[in-house]
């Protein structure tokens, strides 16, 4: 299994090299390449004729990590992403795709180095700006519950909620993260937010935002704010699992525009 060393972690990476345009695929908080495949969020499965780089973020999946919350802040994850791009696709513009934490990581990287990206496909963007403080309180509560009562208690507390309509029928999964790292990951997420709106508004690359309804952790308010701010954004909203099934084709079309 190839790995790539970054400060404080070794990232598990995989490159599907079929020639063509470079694409980098990220995942969400507590997920991984493998878990996103189970959750039907592996949009790269619909791509061919590209150089597709997938990786597990630090502390997730097969990547290593430390018990340091700051390691998992979005801006630090963006540092990791830019290092990967410098190594695998030096001097090239890539298309970035990812859900939630992955979408936030991409926006941090693109706001810092917009010329590195030919386009973005941002899936279910998370709470940001005015909705972030309440989410941060929830993450700190989750970290404390895990430390006091254990991961099983945390998983039990998360069951029973009403899933977004677009995810009905998805298999039940658990975090693809070592138990010992989960509190640090949640605290790192609690410390995170997007750059200021005016910085995001300078990301002048073609961007597709893929959102779904009725998900407090991935609210439509974020998707709508980003669609209004980003100069070249389009917004597509899923209401059913069938709608989500169209997303790999949307990514394929997004990437094809670069050819």
**pLDDT grade for 38, boundaries at 50, 70 and 90:** very high
Q: What is the mean pLDDT of residues 43-48?
A: 92
Is the sign of the CA dihedral 187, 189, 192, 193 positive or negative? negative
Structure confidence at residue 259 (pLDDT) = 64
Query: CA 164 to CA 223: how far, in whole Å?
Result: 15
How would residue 165 be classed by pLDDT, with cut points 50, 70 and 90? very high
The per-residue pLDDT for 158 is 86
Q: pLDDT tens across 209-245, in order?
A: 999 999 999 999 999 999 999 999 999 999 999 999 9
| Distance, CA of 166 to chain centre | 18
| pLDDT above 90 for 159 | no
Contact between 213 and 240 (Cβ < 8 Å): no
Instruction: Report helix, strand and coil shares of the chain as percent, to nearest 5.
Output: 45, 20, 35
CB 173 within 8 A of CB 38: yes
Average pLDDT over residues 46-67: 97
Number of domains in the chain: 1
Q: Residues 176-216: pLDDT tens digits?
A: 999 999 999 999 999 999 999 999 999 999 999 999 999 99
- pTM for the full predicted model: 0.98
Q: What is the mean pLDDT of the chain?
A: 96
Mean pLDDT of all residues in 58-80: 98
**Which single residue is written with the structure tokens 């949640």?**
186
pLDDT score, position 184: 98
Closest to 24 (Cα-Cα) out of 125, 167, 112, 122: 122
Taking residue 106's Cβ as centre, other Cβ atoms within 10 Å add up to 28
DSSP, collapsed to helix, strand or coil, labels residue 210 as strand
Structural domain boundaries enclosing 102 = 3-256
The candidate with the shortest Cα–Cα distance to 107, out of 41, 204, 181, is 204
Of the chain, the percentage scoring pLDDT greater than 70 comes to 100
Cα–Cα dist 210/251, whole Å: 10
The number of beta carbons lying within 10 Å of the beta carbon of residue 158 is 12
pLDDT at 220: 98
- Whole-number Å distance between alpha carbons of 193 and 131: 10
Does residue 161 carry a pLDDT above 90? Answer: no
Q: What is the CATH number of the domain that holds 204?
A: 3.40.50.1820
User: How does residue 252 score in pLDDT terms, banded at 50, 70 and 90?
Assistant: very high
Share of the chain above pLDDT 90, in %: 94
Instruction: Dump pLDDT digits (tens) for 100-158.
Output: 999 999 999 999 999 999 999 999 999 999 999 999 999 999 999 999 999 999 999 98
Q: Are 175 and 152 in contact (CB under 8 A)?
A: no
pLDDT digit string (tens) for 91-104?
A: 999 999 999 999 99
Q: Residue 258 phi/psi, 5° resolution? A: -85, -15
pLDDT of residue 1 exceeding 80: no
Q: Looking at per-residue confidence, does 160 or 250 come out higher?
A: 250
Maximum Cα–Cα distance across the chain: 52
């Amino acid at each position: 299994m190839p790995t790539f060393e970054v400060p404080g972690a070794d990232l598990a990476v995989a490159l599907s090299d079929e020639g063509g345009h470079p694409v980098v695929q990220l995942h969400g908080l507590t997920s991984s390449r493998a878990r996103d495949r189970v959750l039907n969020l592996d949009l790269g499965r619909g791509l061919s004729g590209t150089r597709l780089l997938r990786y597990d973020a630090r502390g997730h999946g097969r990547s290593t990590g430390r018990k340091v919350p700051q390691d998992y802040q979005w801006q630090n994850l963006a540092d990791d992403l830019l290092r990967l791009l410098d190594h695998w696709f030096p001097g090239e513009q890539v298309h970035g795709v990812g859900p939630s934490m992955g979408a936030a990581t991409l926006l941090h990287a693109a706001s810092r180095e917009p010329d590195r990206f030919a386009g973005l496909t941002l899936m279910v963007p998370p709470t940001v700006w005015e909705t972030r403080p309440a989410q941060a309180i929830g993450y700190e509560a989750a970290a404390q519950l895990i430390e006091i009562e254990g991961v099983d208690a945390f998983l039990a507390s998360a069951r029973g909620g009403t899933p977004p309509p677009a995810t009905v029928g998805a298999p039940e999964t658990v975090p693809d993260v070592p138990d010992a790292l989960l509190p640090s990951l949640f605290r790192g997420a609690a410390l995170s937010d997007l750059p200021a709106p005016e910085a995001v508004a300078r990301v002048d690359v073609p961007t597709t935002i893929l959102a779904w309804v009725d998900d407090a952790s991935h609210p439509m308010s974020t998707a709508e704010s980003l669609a209004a701010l980003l100069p070249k954004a389009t917004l597509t909203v899923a209401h059913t699992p069938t709608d989500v099934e169209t997303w790999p084709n949307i990514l394929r079309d997004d990437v094809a525009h670069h050819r």
